[in-house]
Amino acid sequence: MLTIGCHLSSAKGYAAMAKEAEKINANTFQFFTRNPRGGKAKAIDLKDVEKFHSEADRLGIQKILAHAPYTLNACSPDEKVREFAYNTMADDLRRMEYTPGNCYNFHPGSHVKQGAEKGIELIAELLNQILKPEQSTTVLLETMAGKGSEIGRNFQELREILDRVELQDKMGVCLDTCHIYDGGYDIVNDLDGVLKEFDQVIGLSRLKAVHLNDSMYGLNSHKDRHAKIGEGKIGKEAMIRIVNHPALKDLPFYLETPNDLEGYGAEIAFLRSVRQES
């Protein structure tokens, strides 16, 4: 069965997100751990977490994905900004143990004129400080569109971060279809070739999640502007191939398309309808 959901607001807590997922026939979801621009997270409400777990059991919700604030920059040249990234990620990972065994996705960061190599070093250094052998959460590096000085603009850069991390089994990758298309990987005409390259450079065993988004701009545009499924340059046919591809079909898919809840529901219904179950 297709594991699919969308990005939901975490403002009302975990149980409320499970209820919203139910409304749109989603069996997973993504959420921000706190205000996407950073700031303090709400205290964990144990009653809410308990209610979430029973709702998740009832609805078959699995593999929820937490997303770090997108303003966080683990490889900033400014030590204070890196310290904020450290504090936020460490706190997020502590909080995630209330919903154990899930994934935590973050944007690797922007090197801001320090060069990619220095950026990669700083990101790995931070991960080596944060990851703990006892944690149950897998931390995911997101593939990026390569806007500005973003690290993760290609598979090689992610591989170089992963190579420097000591606790390898705590790490994985989240593939964003809009981002990699913007980054120059032609998933429209050569999905097999792109996934083969992913396998050779990073390894498909490290791929833990897919952000399923169409792209407003074309191949190699480095713009990072998401479009609704089938309404962008990637298009419906490629999306159908993606959710059915043997290397991807068992992964959880998360929509980050410009939609309200109803629009997400329609996309989920469409993607379920084109899924070929064997």
Binding footprint of Fe ion on the chain (CB under 5 A): 142, 176, 211
32-71 mask for Zn ion (x: CB under 5 A)? ----------------------------------------
In this complex, which beta carbon is closest to Zn ion, that of residue 150 or of residue 224? 224
Q: Which is nearer to Zn ion, 56 or 152 (CB)?
A: 152
- Between 14 and 185, CB nearer to Zn ion: 185
Which residues between 221 and 240 bind Zn ion (CB under 5 A)? Answer: 224
- Pick 55 or 110: Cβ nearer Fe ion: 110
Residue nearest Zn ion by beta-carbon distance? 224
- Is 67 marked as binding a ligand? yes
179 is in an annotated binding site: yes
Q: Is 211 annotated as a binding residue?
A: yes
Residues contacting Zn ion: total by CB under 5 A:
1
Residues 21, 59 contacting (CB under 8 angstroms): yes
The entry of Fe ion, Zn ion, none that residue 211 binds, CB within 5 to 8 Å by partner kind: Fe ion
Nearer to Zn ion, 76 or 105 (CB): 105
Q: How far is the CB of 211 from Fe ion (least distance, A)?
A: 4
**245 belongs to an annotated ligand binding site:** no
The nearer residue to Fe ion, 20 or 176, going by C-beta atoms, is 176
Q: In whole angstroms, how close is the CB of 105 to Fe ion at the nearest point? A: 6
Q: Which residues of 66-99 are buried (b: 16+ CB within 10 A; e: fewer)?
A: bbbbeebbbbbeeeebbebbbebbeebbebbeeb
Q: What are phi and psi of 83, to 5 degrees?
A: -65, -40
Binding partner of 92, given Zn ion, Fe ion, none, CB within 5-8 angstroms per partner class = none
The annotation status of 83 as a binding-site residue, yes or no, is: no
Residues in contact with Zn ion by the rule CB under 5 A: 224
Q: Which residue numbers belong to the known binding site for Zn(2+)?
A: 67, 107, 142, 176, 179, 211, 224, 226, 256
Residues at the annotated binding site?
Answer: 67, 107, 142, 176, 179, 211, 224, 226, 256
